[in-house]
Each structure stands twice: as structure tokens, then as C-alpha cells.
Structure 1
């Protein structure tokens, strides 16, 4: 057996479905494996108005395969306004969910497809929903775009995901969805697309087609699809929605996918006149379809193990299909090895436009499980199947795949009433090589995200339930981080094992909200964060930290003759400045390197006093050896100079601190400005005692800093010349990450940080508050990551965040006395919740793809008969709109509240659903609704706002500020 060696097979890497009795792929396999018939009766309310049409309703009281709910939709997840969601055909709504579920099943984050050559190929049956909207008086542009027009839905998906590949609707009656697969495969093989999304939907909302099919006598009198049985007299109409994700096999294997099956070849033909009429099947046309498909696949028909037939159970269709299969598959086939044949329609009914995808899903599952499900309702097989020798045999019992040394081979057929014929040839995908389990980690970080709080809580609970089953934690964290769509709301569970992770998820709060990726600022404090025992836990349990610390330790040993790593392992108190500062520096550089290795890259660096030395190394301005030279030689000069003095942290702002110094200005100065409420006084110890005593007496916070010299004060002036001599050979370079100098209160590139700079860093005041304020932005939130053994600067940073009104947060890497590995992983989890994007692939490089819980859709009912859903018409705008609000005299939040109320009316969204920090485009504002919103703003507020501004990334709060500013 030789396959088509000239091209890459197409792998089916993801799938999702909504079928009768099966709302997921897992449930579909349960139906097939257990041999269940899930056809029921037509819901009583489905065609409630058919009597109005003057037709006999009797034909509509029979059997049918129906979905449980076609009215619900999670509009907010997809950024669709309720106004538009009501006007979208339910086929579009349900298929949107199925496409996203198929991407999740494939382990493809939706956002990762932006800008890629991903093609979208879909099929939707005109369902009649448009008729319901028309009768409700809701025929507008959104209704037109929401109708089941073949090309609209793929365009919606391509726009939502920012795809650049082909995007098209396909139609060939009941062969439609399999034709979409055929077209997608061709695009992958000829290079038009690198990935393909294929979907199909078939809902029955109005009864018209029922009457036509009943008149034609093609519906089953028994309420069953009896494929291959002599008594088969028609099919049962069923609903169904399905989606699959296709990619070249070589890429799938490289990506670590586990394909359901691979497509080797396909054929799309037409019967021409071979059937005698357009709707009659043609034997010659069927034979030609089969031969061309197997030729295209490079597979001999005699090697096929199983055929998933079109098999609706009709009088003309079944004999023609079985005869063609017998003729083509018998060539070269041993008489003792028949090809098994079956039809999923015996379980589900005929899902019409979606029938081909239903057959594809069944075949993929059969191949994956190497089990052929039974075809139901066969009492007496057709004569073709009872001949002395026939190449085909009905699979009337669920049975193992024929045992053979070669991969499984199967075919799938789908025919349309128009005469269209489609056949796919599938094979078993290569089995991935067994992976050795990853060694256990001391701590795991498991990210979970969703679009709203309720979904987040439900999803966290589902993950916790999964953890109770004992999954491989490396695989779980890898899949959740690398292969899952990231949403705005997120929580991160941190724990040493599955039980701890599950408990963390069940106890999790609301998590973090991140509309935009934040600005990340690494903050390096000065001396004072040290504590006995710091670093020991990380050295023992986090190899990455140990590697980076050892690199720093070698540089320190070259300068001073001892190793910070050895000192930390001894857990001895650090006694002198030339021990303390090199050790803190080494820890800071190692911690920052771990953060970067984990994928949290800084946009800006801020160093506080000696912390700027580590910042310079992380920026690239100084090498590790140069950084060690600066910290070691400067601290040695400090110790050898026998400098004296003291430093006090006090709870006063800069001006108040200067007033407190008063007559002692010749001996004491403001050495550090940490925040608008916190400074450090530096200078003569006795003078400081006189200054601080009355402050403490009246309740002002004060604490002596653990140093025995006064830096950032005149007391260090004698060290200038010795330090310049020690660092005269220093040659800094421009760094790759900008630094905001707290000595100069200005951005520096790094090449300025020569010997003279490092004296000024010791002598000039530390203007940390100004650097923190400069780091905060209004455009996006700021996350300060404090790179330190203990957070010294968190209170000061939080003060500046609060004072500025900007969005920001502080993450402490470690905390004194807390197990360091746990603390650092918890800090990473918190950074994730604040919007940072860790590199989960580097965190969990040995992880594989693991099936995760399905996203819990938060559906609301959207249907034209829903009370209160159809909005009243907009009142006409008066000729001279009156200004009812004095915007200039209002606060931004007040204006945002007014604007939110108007937006709620336009979008048909409850007011409490509109957050002032969320762009309206995420709630479904499009160009049509933006024009309407623009008119409402002009009418009610008397302001003119460009549509382009409303469709931008601005939030309502930002829009309010613009409106107030005029």
C-alpha cells in the first residue's frame, strides 16, 4: 500500500459538535460506542406557527433529531451586542461557539491566529430565521449580516480572528459540509492556506422544507434512517452543527498535536446525467467519484477497511451507493476480507447540510479508538449485501477495527440532491513517540482565564475537578498556558501538587482583569532588604536561579575572593557593607534573570540607590563582571573609608522633611524621596536623633535604616576620588532596556553610567518617587515588579499609584520568612492575573497537549418572541438639541456614567454590563451601531464625536475625559 507520497496529508487536529444527543465530541463517541438512536420527536414549540400557513401539521408530528437549545448565545464572549445577537441566525451563533471549541480542542489559542493564512470554509442551510425577524419588523442591516448567507459567516470568523487566508461559504445541498472539507484540503495542499477552519450548521426553524420533502416521499415512515435495510423508505430530518480544524500533518506533529486522523485524498464530482435526473443518484457518477478519490490519495480501494456511507436509508440512494462501493472496492480484494460499511444517520438522523461533517467526526473517532460502531435498524440487508461474494458488509455490531499490521484506512461519502458527490480518504495518524514524564517540580503555576466572572468561577471549578483525577501536572500547566486562549479575566493557582492546585482554584477570588498587556517595570531597591536565610530555598529548589546566581558569584569571587552563593548557603548574618551589597546585587540580578527567563520582560528599569547597579546589568549597560566590579569596589571603598553617619526613614513628604531638618541643614539632608509621604533623612547621627525625636513624639512614622554610614549626603564626598580610581576602566554601553535614573531623575541609555555616574548615584538624592510617577501611564496599566529578597518599596509605589490616579499594581518577588520558591511562583501567578504574559512554553518545556475542560458559555436567550428584546424605535432627534449636562463641570467618572447609559440603550445591554474601563467594541459596537451612538451623543449631550474614535481602543472613561476637554 502506497499513499500519495508527493504531498503532506491533512491532519484533523481539533473538532467540536452540537448534534442530537451529543453536545461534545466525547458525548458523540458515547452515542456511537453504545449504539444509541438519539432521534426523538419534533419539539412542540419548534413550528408553532405552521397552522397559520394553512398546511396540515400532521407531517410535523413525527420523528426528528433536534438540538436542546438554539436560542441561547454568549454574545459578550464574542463581542457581539445583544442588539446584533438577536438578529443573527442561530446557526451563526451556535457555529461560532463550535469553531472556538474546535480551536480549543486543537490546542490553538484564538489570538495566535491573527495575521496568519488561516482559511475558513463553512456551510449553512437557509434556516428561515430571517422570516421570523421579518415578521417581527426587524429587517435591518444587522439582520442581513446575521442571515444564513453562505459567505457572511466565514467573513465574521475571519474578521473576529484577524485571519488572512481564504474565507468562503460552500454549498452543494447535502454534500455541502464535506465539500467544504475537500476545498479546505485543496487550499492546504496548494499553499493557499496554512491552517483551515471548516464548519457547518443545519437548523430547522420554519417548516417549509418539511412539506416539500413529505410531498416528495423521501421522509421515513418509521422515524428511522434504515441504511442498508430493504425496508428503508426515507430519512429522518435532523439538526446538527460541527467544526473541525485542519493542518498539514508535518506541522501537526511538529506542534505536538495528537490528530484524530489524517486525510490522504479526496474527490468532488457530479453525476451528470448518469442518474437520469438531477435528484436521482447515478451509479456511474458514484464509481467515478470513488476511483478518483483513491487515485488522488494514492490508496488502492482494496485496502480500505471501512466506509462511512452517505447512507440516508432511501429506496434509490442506498442501492446505488452500495453497488458502486461493491464494484470499486472488490478490485484486488481477498474474498475473506470485506470492507465494513455504516452510516451515522442510523444514530442521529440526516443532518442534511451538515451530514458530511457528522460522518467525518464519526470516522475520525472510529479511527482514533480503532473501533467501528454498529449501524442500527437493519433487519434484512439489501440484496447486494447478500450475494455469494460482495466486497462490502454492513457493520451491524460494534467491533474492533480489523486487526492488521498497517494503519487503518477509511472512506467517507456525501451526496447532494443536486447531484454533487464528495468522497474523502482517511488514515490513522502516526502515533506520537512515548514521552518520559517530566520530573516533579517544587511548585506549579496553573493559569485559568475567562471573559466574565461567572464563567471564570465555573471554569476554575472544572479545572479543580480535573485535578482530582490526577492528571500530569506538567501537561496540564503547559496546555493551560501555551495552548489555551487568554481572556481578560484570569486567575493563577499555585501549588506543589494537584491537591494544592485544586484547593487554590476552589478558593480563588475574582482574579485579575487585564484589558491590555501592562507596562512592566522592574524595580531594584537598595540596601535593607537582606535577611538571614535568604536565597537558600531558591538555591535548593530552583535550578534557574542557582545558575544565574553562580554566574554573579564567580564575578564577585574574582573581585573579593569569596562567593555570595556559599555565603547564602551558610545562612550567616551579613555583617558589613562589602558583604551585604554584593550579595543583594547577586540576588537581584539572579531574580531578574529568572523573571525574564519566565517570559516577563521589563519595559523599564528603576534602581533605588545601589539597586541601579543590578538594573544596569539587566539593561545590558554593564556586563555581570562590570556590575560586580562596581558593587564590590564601591562597597569596599565605603568600608575602608570608615564613613560615619546614619539614615532614618520617616513618614513625611519632601517639603515637610526639609522643614523638620530646620537648623541642621549643614549636617543632615533629604537623601531619599520615596513617595509623596515617605522620605529618608541622611547625615550626622546625633543631629538625626535630635530631628527624629520630636517627630516620633507626635506620631510620625520613623525607623532607622540598617546602615552605619550616611549615603546620599555630604558624608560620602571623601570617597569620590578613590571610587573614580577604582572604576576608571569601566566602559558601559547602551542597554537594550531603558533605565530611569533616580540619581538624575531622567531616562538614561546606559552608556552614561561610567565611574563618575556611580559616585553621583552614591552622593545625589534618590528621587525614586519622581521615577515611579514617570513610569505610570494613562494608556495602559503599570505593573511594578520589585526585584528584591523583601519588598522595601511596595508602600512607596502604592502611594504614587494612588496619588496619580493611574492604574497600577506592585508585585513582590520574595518576602522575608516565606518559602522563596512558593513566593516567587505566587508572584508570577499574580503578574499573570495583572495581565503579564509569561512564556509558559519555557516554564513547562516538557509538557504535552492535554484535553482541558470546555469553556462554560454564559448564554442568554435571543429570539424574536422574547419579551422586551425588541427595542422600541428611537425617538426622533429635536431640531435644536438641548444640552442637558454641563460636562465641563462634571468629573470624568460622572460623564462616563452618563455615556454608559446611552451606550446601553444603543447596544441593548443592561447598564451594569457596561464597564467604564472596557472598550465598547468588546461589547459589540460596530460601525453601524457606532453611527447610531454618535447621533445619540450629539442629541443628548450636544457633542460631536468621530465614529473612528468610538471604534478605537479607548474606554468610556477615556472617552469621557475627551468629551470634558471638548
Structure 2
């Protein structure tokens, strides 16, 4: 991310110099997204329920008696479903580690990812960025669950419940480099985190902040203390502002917000929910009389500090999202402080509205402040304040004549009054820590330039990706539903967001359509399982292939000339060079739509289109690692490589084709479905007049030579069923019939001064990669005379097992089948081929379809260029593929994220139980390797099936905590001292096994021992 220099803050409004909430995600009772949370608030839903059976046996502990020790006074709470589920594979976390992580950490990881998606931030953009992570999570009681199951080991202790580890996991997964911390101020914690993060943003210390909190209720322990203190509601509802409020209701959930300087958010075209324009945190000191009793003086001081920091008058605040838990001791004090500070100089006709989301979802305790902040931001975003529930008799502060406060007991629109609406959010901790944030409606910014859906572009390209095939189908279905909605976003905006503002994973699909309806139809087919599930892909090597003559068609390139400025500019450059060489216009020939007749017109025009197509591909972010030219296609390849200038390329193609057009020797060429050896045998006695001019694939060649002799060769082949097709030329290139032109070609190009190219060029003349300096006049004579070794070029590329994408740079694919033939012969599963354009098909859509193939093969095009003109819009979030990770049921094993292993169940091995039975240790290096592999995979919870011994343990997922366990086991069971450093730094399992073998203690003779 880019650190921007702030503008003159003296000219900025408080909102413009504030901190924008650009992303939000939540997992709350009855609401899995901010949109669902807003629906809960807007429709006045109460999502509090009774304690579910999978938490603890509430009947065992429940008692309605006040203050009775070791009992629970309330049966109610706000609870989440499926807290045992986690998509560990997505985050690359091994099963045994996922099982021992506090589920709050797991929840924070997923909710953080959703918040970043909501903000349009991608993983590559965040990696290495100056992003801070500020989170909190309370003690959920999961450590007690682990202890009861005998799994409370070092790994659980170090990585399980610590809040700092939760922040660290987020930072590690995203590779962000800003401050990483967990904060603690009891129920004021989450809003304290917003304060700290906001200060870091406004000072320039960081450029982005991830702020949030989580709370789970797995144990009855805290219920006992809170019930004894009479802080929990026996009626099971938070009744903020009511005279009969009787305590609060505990609740579960997580909220994560993404914060950014408002000026940066405006510059980046982000969607802003609301702007935090001021914050303050204060301590209560002794003003409340006791440690846990709230004091008015401390709260008033905090409020004044927050509005001074915001630069606005408290009298202008439109509503306050109160801490508001519904406690008889806390609510009156909070409201008294609000009335004092916000009532000063307030217009009596505009009392400040006050409410509390705790009446809807309960109190998330340490994370409660950020829940309130999310509600306030959504209220400003939708310009409406939801009602507060469960109020029968409002407190006197709301009923007094001229009171500056009014309880929000019904949905209330925020009417415009000529300035942005303002809101306050409070959070108070039992320890006397207070926090308050001041929010403003997001500043109005000029609407981004938006493409008019169904009109502005001939077609749209929409990419989707996931880490799991089921997730990809689910995402396709959700996106299709979004596109099908009558009031949904435009195709241009959806494609822009999916391409430029989403992380691209290894399972991919991309669809092309002219409008939202066509895109939705294509996605519905994907969601329905049309075609094979996409396999995981990695970035491939890209090879541009430039074919020879034969791909031309009347009218080619005309649509791209109107719609692709890079293609048009490059073709115009080629047009000038051809006019200077040959005196005719390439552009005029294309615009006319007439068939190209003579070769001195066909070849220059085709060359120009190839050069322009290559430039178009590169402008879209698809860069070649290698170029292969086929016959005359090598001229365009040489220009694309940078070995020849456009003017030099035009000289080669125009002068040589002009000489060919004036030749006197007749010739012909036939494409036959025979390999080179069989083709040579078929030529037989005609070898003095016919040769194999082109070897396209192991099963396809082109015979070239004298027309009469070729007819005699082809006739028996056709009679025996060999497919033969005459090439539409009247000369025999790559054959002796053109040898007489070679001296003239060399002379005409004597002034050529080629240079080293920027991209390697594989010569199908020399059958190797050639240096740019070799591409002189003699080379271009040989290019016409010598055989084309295209099959060898493809075979050389495929000999490297890495993934590869062949892109045919032509107006119609003519080498596609030959490349696929080579792929099949080589057994190259990780090879893909695509074209560029196709004869008489819409060019923009066809080019986008080719890009879709490239994307699905692992390429990452320049989405900003491809989706230019679109705006950021919310899209469906990642569909988690949760699996159960809980200690009372061994976690299902899965394959290592680094090396693909089969997904089979592996029983988790217990590492803390005594081992009294003697075991025979391994005695050979091979046995040592087998033993080490067994121990490691059991420790990590993965399958040994296809793990190779030449990989290091760290590639299997071994980290320092797992290494401590493994080192202990080796020492205690085999009496071998292997350090953690040695385990982590070993180059392979086999190398480590050798080390273990050397350190094995000498066997003791049984008789001697006795």
C-alpha cells in the first residue's frame, strides 16, 4: 500500500481528516453479515435465546435466587451456531493445530478475511504493507475444554487463548508489517482498539488498520460471578433505558472493521460506512466510589475530550449508541453524563436520540464497543436509527421537560439539516476504563465514472476463484443471484470488483457475457457443476506463438481497432511502417473488409495484426516468457521480442513478400496427418522435388515442393484415409523451390541491424533459442528456405514440467490442434493452449474468452486495465467450507497445503499420555526415515501416503511449537537429542533421518543388561 502525504488539513472538514470505516464483517446472534445485522436492527428482532446444550448444562447450575453462590441467575444469552466449524484449509492451518486453537481465534481469522473483502483489499496488496492489527478476545473457557480432554499442552498454551496470538495469526496470514497487538480494558476494550488504531492512522504511523474483537461463552464460570454480583438479567433481556432494567445478557460473536484515512479512502474509490472523526479514552479513578462503580465525573470528562478531539460541538450530535447494557447501576450514570455534556447549548427542538444494540443481540462484553460502533456506522450509512427494544417505562431522564435526550423507541429517519449527521458511541469497562468515539456521515465525494451496463462495452469478463471446488460453485451461485437482482449493481462494477478488489485463489473460473443476464446464466452453469471442477493452478509460463500465413480473414481486427486503444496504436504504428515500405495502408485494407489477395498484401497485413495482438495481450497483463514464431510468424515474434523495431520488421516482411510475389518457380504445399518419419517415407522417390517443409506435431507435417510431384505423393495417402489438405498458396516455402530467392533476400536486408531482445525467442529455423543479433538478412532467407521445426519447439517447452500456457497470436487459431497434439504426446497435464481471435466472431468477446482461459490456467491479468471504468461494489463473501475441530471428536485430517496428499482420515496421536511399554527403536537410516515420517504426520494430523522423503519437515507444516513436541518425543522414547533448530532447518526428511541414525544409542546386549 502507498503511504500518501496528507493534504492541507486546515482546509479539511472533520470528516475529511477523519478515519473511514471502509470494511466491516460480523458474526453475531442471528446475523452473519453486516447486512443481516442491519436487518435485525431495522426490523426490531430480538436474537437472544436460552443457553444451548452444546455450551454447558444450564439446568444444573440455574437458580432464580438472588446472590446465591455457585449458581447461574440467567438462562439466556446471545449464541452463535456451529462454533466448532472452521475452514482450516483456507488458512493453511493443520488439523491438530486447528483443534487446539481457541475457536475465538478461528472466528477472528474468518471474520477478518470477510471484512477485508468488504473493504476491497486483496492479499497481495496487503502483504508487506504498513497495516496494523488491533484485536481483543476474552477468555472463552476453551482451555478448560482442552484440559478436560487431556490436550492442554504447549501448543495449546502458546497458541490457543492468548489475545496477542490472535492478532499475530491475522498478521502472519496476511503478512502485514504494522503494529500487532491485543488490548484489554474489560468491556471498553474494542473501542479502545479503535482509539489506538485511529491515532496510528492519523499520525501516519500506519496506512490501514484491522480492528475487532470476539467473545464466546463456553464455560459457566463467569456466569457464577456475574450472577452473584446480580449483574445478569434474570428475565433474560437487556432493557436499556427502562426503569425496570434488571441486568445484562451475555452474548457471543465477533466484529472486525477495516479503517483507513478518509482522504485515502476517497482517493481509492472506497465505500465508506461512516467516518470516525474523534475518540477519547479515560479512566474513572475514584470518582465512582468503588473500583467497579461507574462515576459521572469520569464519563463527562471522556465525552468532552472526544468531542474536542473531533472538532465538533456535543450539541450537534444527532444520536448516541450508548454502552447501555441495561444495568440499574450503570445506565442512570451514563445517561446523566450524556445529558450534561450533550445538553449544553442544544436546540430543545432537536434532542439527541439514544439507543443500544444490546437490546437486540445482548452484550458481547470485551467486543461490545465495536458492535455499537458497527450499529452506529450502519445507521449513518442508511440514515436511519433503529429502535431500542424491551422498554416499557422509560427512565425519568427521558421524560423530564426539555430533556436533551430521547430514547429511540421507534425507527427514526435521520433528516438532513445541511450538515453531515453525527453520532457518538460509548463503551465502559467494569474496571473503570471508558471509551467514546465520534462518527460522522461519510463526506460526499464525486461519483466514480461508471460504465453504463449493457451499453458501454461489447462484453464483460467476470473472474471468480476459491480454494475449494464447492466454495467456487457456491460463490458462482451467489454472484449469479446478485447479477439477477433487478436493482443489482452493473456488470461493469461487478467485474471491476471481482477482478481488481478481490484476492485470486488457485481454483478459478471466468465467464464472459454481454450483460448481467448473460453473465448470470454462465455462472448458474458453473454453480450447477457444468464441466469438470477446476484443479488448483499456479502461475504458468506464458509462451506466445505466432503462426505463419493462413489465419487471415476479411474484416479482421476492425472491432479491436474501435475498442482497444493499445491494439489500435500498435497497428497504426505498423501501418506507417508498411506504407513507407510498400506504399499501401494496412488500416485501409482492414477497414475495407475485402479479402486479401496477393501475398505481398496478405503477409504485411497479417504481420501487423500479429504485432498489435501481442501488444494487446501484454497491455492486459499477460507477459510472455518465451516467443515461438512459425514461418513468417517469426517476423512478428522478433518485433515483439524487441530484437527488431517495427520499421525493421516491416522491412523484412514487405521486402521478402514482394520478392515472393515476383518469383517464377511454381510450388505447392499440403498439410498431411503424418509424423515426420512417415512423411519422409511417403515422399519416397520424389525426394528430389518434395520435402517435409514443416513439422507441426508428432502427427502433423506439411509437404512442400513441386505441384505435380506433390499430387503423386498425396494421392495414395488420401486413398488410404490419411487426411490431406492443400494450403492456399502458389509457392513452396521451406523447400528447394525458393532457394533462388535467398541471395536477393539477403541483399535486400543487408542494412538490418538486429539487437538483443527483451524476451527469449525460440527459433524454429535453428531449433534453439537465438540471440537477437542472429536475426540478420541471412536468417530471414533461411527462415523462408529451411524446414519449420515447430514440434521440436513445443516439445522443448513441454520438457519442463512446470505449468505452461501457449497463446496463439493470430486472428484465427491455426496451430491450436498441433500444440494440443504435442501436449498429449508429452503427457503434459499442466499445459493449456488458447487463441486470440476467431474468424467471423465478435472480437472483444473472443479476446475476453481467451483471457478467461488464461486466468483459469493461473495467469493474473491486469484487472485494473481490463475493468477500467467500473466502481467498487459489495459482492458475496467467501463461502467458508467449515469442518469440525473440537477436542471431543478428533479433527478430520487433511492434506498439507504445500504438497498435495490424499485426503484420508488419520487418527490424532495423543502426546501427553504415559508410555510404559518398551519399544524397539529404528536401527537403519531407512527405518529412521519411516519412523520420523510416522511421528511427524501423526503429530500434524496429515496422511503419510504420498509424502516424499526429499521435502523438509517445514513444508509439511511443522512449526516451532510442533517441533518442540517432536524433539521431546524423540528424546523421551528413543533417547535421541535433536534440537528444535535442527528439526526446522533440515533440508529434507531423509537428511534428518541420517542424523537421527548417527545419534542412535548403541544397543545393549540383553544378557549383559541382566
Q: Could you tell me the TM-score, scaled by structure 1's length?
A: 0.90
State which drifts further: 351-360 or 873-882.
873-882
2:851 to 806, 828, 838: 828
Please report how far the alpha carbon of residue 81 of structure 1 lies from its aligned counterpart in structure 2 after TM superposition. Answer: 1.9
Query: Taking structure 1 as reference, are residues 29 and 607 closer, same or farther at Cα in structure 2, changes over 3 Å only?
Result: same
Matches of 2:394 and 2:760, distance apart in 1:
78
Please report how far the alpha carbon of residue 57 of structure 1 lies from its aligned counterpart in structure 2 after TM superposition. Answer: 8.2
Partner of 1:180: 193
Partner of 1:148: 161
| Matching of residue 96 in structure 1 with residue 118 in structure 2 | no
Partner of 2:921: 879
Deviations 1:760-797 (A, max 9, x none): 22223222223223333646310000111222222222
State which drifts further: 341-350 or 738-747.
738-747
- Counterparts of residues 233-632 of structure 1 (less than 5 Å): 233-435=246-448, 437-439=450-452, 440=455, 441-470=457-486, 471-508=489-526, 509-510=531-532, 512-539=534-561, 545-632=567-654
Matches of 2:657 and 2:41, distance apart in 1:
75
- Counterparts of residues 913-932 of structure 1 (less than 5 Å): 926=959
Matches of 1:656 and 1:83, distance apart in 2:
59
Please report how far the alpha carbon of residue 666 of structure 1 lies from its aligned counterpart in structure 2 after TM superposition. Answer: 3.7
- Contact kept, 8 Å, 1:21 with 1:38, in 2: the verdict is yes
Query: Taking structure 1 as reference, are residues 864 and 308 closer, same or farther at Cα in structure 2, changes over 3 Å only?
Result: same
2:740 to 706, 718, 730: 718
Q: SS at the partner of 1:95? A: helix
Q: SS at the partner of 2:90? A: coil
Q: CA RMSD in A?
A: 3.6
2:831 to 799, 805, 808: 808
Matches of 1:381 and 1:464, distance apart in 2:
47
Q: SS at the partner of 1:243? A: strand
Matches of 1:483 and 1:949, distance apart in 2:
41
Partner of 2:144: 131
Query: Taking structure 1 as reference, are residues 396 and 922 closer, same or farther at Cα in structure 2, changes over 3 Å only?
Result: farther
Matches of 1:540 and 1:902, distance apart in 2:
64
Query: Taking structure 1 as reference, are residues 200 and 822 closer, same or farther at Cα in structure 2, changes over 3 Å only?
Result: same
- Contact kept, 8 Å, 2:757 with 2:772, in 1: the verdict is yes
Matches of 2:172 and 2:591, distance apart in 1:
56
Please report how far the alpha carbon of residue 351 of structure 1 lies from its aligned counterpart in structure 2 after TM superposition. Answer: 0.9
Partner of 1:891: none
Partner of 1:752: 774
Matches of 1:149 and 1:705, distance apart in 2:
73
- Contact kept, 8 Å, 1:556 with 1:632, in 2: the verdict is yes
Matches of 1:82 and 1:50, distance apart in 2:
33
- Contact kept, 8 Å, 1:517 with 1:780, in 2: the verdict is no
Deviations 1:217-265 (A, max 9, x none): 1111321212222222311111121100001111111111110011112
Matches of 1:579 and 1:903, distance apart in 2:
68
| Matching of residue 69 in structure 1 with residue 76 in structure 2 | no
- Contact kept, 8 Å, 1:80 with 1:925, in 2: the verdict is no
- Contact kept, 8 Å, 1:677 with 1:799, in 2: the verdict is yes
Please report how far the alpha carbon of residue 2 of structure 1 lies from its aligned counterpart in structure 2 after TM superposition. Answer: 10
2:238 to 216, 225, 230: 225
Partner of 2:883: 860
State which drifts further: 782-791 or 652-661.
652-661
Partner of 2:941: 908
Task: Could you tell me which runs of 5 or more consecutive residues in structure 2 were left unpaired when the two chains were aligned.
Answer: 1-9, 893-906, 971-977, 993-1010
Matches of 1:42 and 1:858, distance apart in 2:
26
- Contact kept, 8 Å, 2:885 with 2:891, in 1: the verdict is no
Partner of 2:124: 111
Please report how far the alpha carbon of residue 80 of structure 1 lies from its aligned counterpart in structure 2 after TM superposition. Answer: 1.5
- Contact kept, 8 Å, 1:344 with 1:362, in 2: the verdict is yes
Matches of 2:638 and 2:935, distance apart in 1:
50
Matches of 1:371 and 1:52, distance apart in 2:
41
Q: SS at the partner of 2:772? A: coil
Matches of 2:969 and 2:713, distance apart in 1:
62
Q: SS at the partner of 2:858? A: coil
- Contact kept, 8 Å, 1:514 with 1:833, in 2: the verdict is no
State which drifts further: 67-76 or 134-143.
134-143
Q: SS at the partner of 2:338? A: helix
State which drifts further: 864-873 or 478-487.
864-873
Matches of 2:324 and 2:154, distance apart in 1:
40
Task: Could you tell me which runs of 5 or more consecutive residues in structure 1 were left unpaired when the two chains were aligned.
Answer: 888-894, 938-944, 960-966
Matches of 1:920 and 1:822, distance apart in 2:
47
| Matching of residue 850 in structure 1 with residue 843 in structure 2 | no
State which drifts further: 574-583 or 904-913.
904-913
Matches of 1:645 and 1:378, distance apart in 2:
97
1:38 to 25, 30, 47: 47
Q: SS at the partner of 1:77? A: helix
Q: SS at the partner of 2:424? A: strand
Matches of 1:930 and 1:730, distance apart in 2:
63
- Counterparts of residues 882-893 of structure 1 (less than 5 Å): none
Please report how far the alpha carbon of residue 309 of structure 1 lies from its aligned counterpart in structure 2 after TM superposition. Answer: 1.1
Query: Taking structure 1 as reference, are residues 949 and 742 closer, same or farther at Cα in structure 2, changes over 3 Å only?
Result: farther
State which drifts further: 513-522 or 411-420.
513-522
Matches of 2:497 and 2:101, distance apart in 1:
33
State which drifts further: 403-412 or 672-681.
672-681
- Contact kept, 8 Å, 1:512 with 1:834, in 2: the verdict is no
Please report how far the alpha carbon of residue 909 of structure 1 lies from its aligned counterpart in structure 2 after TM superposition. Answer: 5.1
Please report how far the alpha carbon of residue 745 of structure 1 lies from its aligned counterpart in structure 2 after TM superposition. Answer: 2.4
Deviations 1:278-297 (A, max 9, x none): 21112211111111111222
Partner of 2:999: none
- Contact kept, 8 Å, 2:316 with 2:346, in 1: the verdict is yes
Deviations 1:773-829 (A, max 9, x none): 333364631000011122222222223333434421111223334443332221111
Partner of 1:890: none
Matches of 1:367 and 1:115, distance apart in 2:
33
2:656 to 634, 648, 672: 634
Query: Taking structure 1 as reference, are residues 339 and 832 closer, same or farther at Cα in structure 2, changes over 3 Å only?
Result: same
Query: Taking structure 1 as reference, are residues 826 and 134 closer, same or farther at Cα in structure 2, changes over 3 Å only?
Result: same
- Contact kept, 8 Å, 2:16 with 2:262, in 1: the verdict is no
- Contact kept, 8 Å, 1:305 with 1:410, in 2: the verdict is yes
Partner of 2:787: 765
Matches of 1:622 and 1:447, distance apart in 2:
36
State which drifts further: 906-915 or 677-686.
906-915
Query: Taking structure 1 as reference, are residues 555 and 645 closer, same or farther at Cα in structure 2, changes over 3 Å only?
Result: same
Matches of 1:10 and 1:482, distance apart in 2:
23
Deviations 1:9-65 (A, max 9, x none): 110000010111211101111111122222121113311399599998862662211
Query: Taking structure 1 as reference, are residues 269 and 913 closer, same or farther at Cα in structure 2, changes over 3 Å only?
Result: farther
- Contact kept, 8 Å, 1:643 with 1:716, in 2: the verdict is yes
Please report how far the alpha carbon of residue 517 of structure 1 lies from its aligned counterpart in structure 2 after TM superposition. Answer: 1.1
Query: Taking structure 1 as reference, are residues 931 and 684 closer, same or farther at Cα in structure 2, changes over 3 Å only?
Result: farther
Q: SS at the partner of 1:783? A: strand
1:163 to 176, 184, 190: 176
Partner of 2:895: none
